[in-house]
Amino acid sequence: MKADARESSPVLEAYDLEVTYAQTSVLWIPHLTLHEGERLVLIGPNGAGKTTLLRVLATLQKPSRGRIVYRGHVLDRRRARVYRRRVAVVLHPPPLLDLSVYHNVALGLYLRGMRGATVRARVMEWLQRFHVHHLAQRRALGLSRGELQRVALARAFVLEPDILFLDEPFSGLDEPTRERLLPDVRRNLEATGITTFLITHNREDALALGDRVAVMLAGRICQIGTPQEVFTAPVSVDVARFVGADNILPAEVVRATSLTRVRCLPEGPELLSTRRAPKQEVLVCVRPEHVRLADESMSAQAPGVDFEARVEEVVPLGTRVRVRLRCGGVTLSALWDYVYWQTSPARVGARVILHVAADHVHLLPSP
């Protein structure tokens, strides 16, 4: 996305969208804007209403109330039909028709009345871009999960849509398949500059693909901003928990000057924060990967606080390890690369010196 994308003209706007099932509101979006060329990633737990929002924005499902504006025009029934020919949707799991891979990818073009050499050229180009051109004549129903996802993506990209809606494009894939597909999707999104609305429950997908990230919890968008903003400065405890800021500790402000000094309760370490304290009693919010072992170079580079802690538990997570640390009356969680941990003295029972940089300490008002 261009740097000024948020100032660029909106492609899609939603106002006062609400979806109710059996008189219960499952989705309520007062306002949402999708800007030209941006990639907006919607994250949230299962059942948060992400797919419902995607279906409503793509006009596949009627909201109970509210309106959607596409390039300045409110989408009524007639305009919605035209709109659906300008966008492309990849649902999860992506249903393919019982046709060959080639005809599945060509389907959207056929539906638009296109035939002949143009269709063939476009279909083969996109099959190639997603590395599934060798499957062109295969029956779509016999594909593996990864192949199926690539075909579904090619089927959407081949339409050269104005807006691309992707619902969990990497969900249900094994890790190696996901790791190969993600860069392909990213490359093609960047090459085409298509405005994209992508849903995922995976925080790493959001970081890898999003220009902006929106967090949806219980049918509401709780925070929307750059990935940096959302992941390091969550607006609430619920958002913090969802975006993986696992260390949420009650604290009191000790001193508020250019840096805010807080003491974690009960009897925890004192930390420095670059944020202003919203009130005297706060919640300190630190991502586990920002809890590091102190070393001189780090302390010099990033102002912060060094403090001692005892290693209570080490849980290997493949290429990473989660380390539980006890400091006074509080428990901290750290997430480190396996190699980083292996070369450190942090074994169960050991005492280590930790460092948390001031700009990684986020302060939330205490409830």
Partner 1 sequence: MDIILEGGREAIRLLLNADPYVLEVTALTLRVSGTATIIAVVLGVPLGTLLAFSPFPGRRYVMAALNTGMGLPPVVVGLVVALMLWRSGPLGALGLIYTPTAMILAQAIIALPIVTALSMAALQQLDPQLHWQLLGLGASPVQLVLLLLWESRLLLMAAMIAAFGAVISEVGASLMVGGNIAHQTRVLTTATVLETSRGNFDRAIALSLILLILAYLITLVLTTVQQRARRW
C-beta closer to partner 1: residue 139 or 351: 139
Scored b (16 or more CB within 10 A) or e, 211-249 reads: bbbbbbbebebbbbbebeebbbbbbbbebbebbebbbeb
> Residue 85 Cβ, how far from partner 1 at the closest point, in Å?
4
Token pair belonging to 348: 């169960």
CB of 111 to partner 1, least distance (A): 5
Whole-angstrom distance, CA of residue 185 vs CA of residue 170: 10
Closest CA to 207 of 227, 187, 183: 227
Residue placing its CB nearer to partner 1 in the complex, 107 or 294: 107
> Do residues 256 and 239 touch, judged by C-beta distance below 8 A?
no
Residue number with CB closer to partner 1 (107 or 119): 107
Please, is 73 exposed, middle or buried when counting C-beta atoms within 10 Å of its C-beta (0-12, 13-18, 19+)?
exposed
Q: Which helix (H) or strand (E) holds 118?
A: helix 117-129
Closest approach, Cβ 33 to partner 1, in A, equals 21
CB 236 within 8 A of CB 224: no
| Nearest-approach distance from CB 54 to partner 1, in angstroms | 9
Q: Contact positions toward partner 1, by CB under 8 A?
A: 55, 58, 60-61, 81, 84-85, 87-91, 93-95, 97-100, 107-108, 111-112, 139, 155-156, 159, 165
Query: Token digits for 193?
Result: 């500059």
User: Is residue 327 within 8 Å of residue 269, measured between CB atoms?
Assistant: yes
Query: For residues 77 and 257, which CB has a smaller minimum distance to partner 1 in the complex?
Result: 77
Q: Which is nearer to partner 1, 87 or 357 (CB)?
A: 87
Beta pairing class for 281-286 and 10-21: unpaired
| Cβ closest to partner 1, residue 31 vs residue 112 | 112
362 close to 225: Cβ distance less than 8 angstroms: no
Find where tokens 């083969």 sit. 124
CA dihedral for 326, 333, 297, 282, sign (positive or negative)? negative
Least distance in angstroms from the C-beta of 76 to partner 1 = 16
Output 95 or 329, the one with its CB closest to partner 1: 95
Least Å distance, CB 297 to partner 1, is: 52
Hey, how many other C-beta atoms are within 10 angstroms of the C-beta on 200? Answer: 24
Task: Give min distance, CB of 214 to partner 1, in A.
Answer: 21
Yes or no: say if 68 and 57 are a contact pair by the CB < 8 Å rule: yes
Q: Which is nearer to partner 1, 92 or 292 (CB)?
A: 92
Minimum gap (Å) between residue 139 Cβ and partner 1:
7
Residue type, 289: E
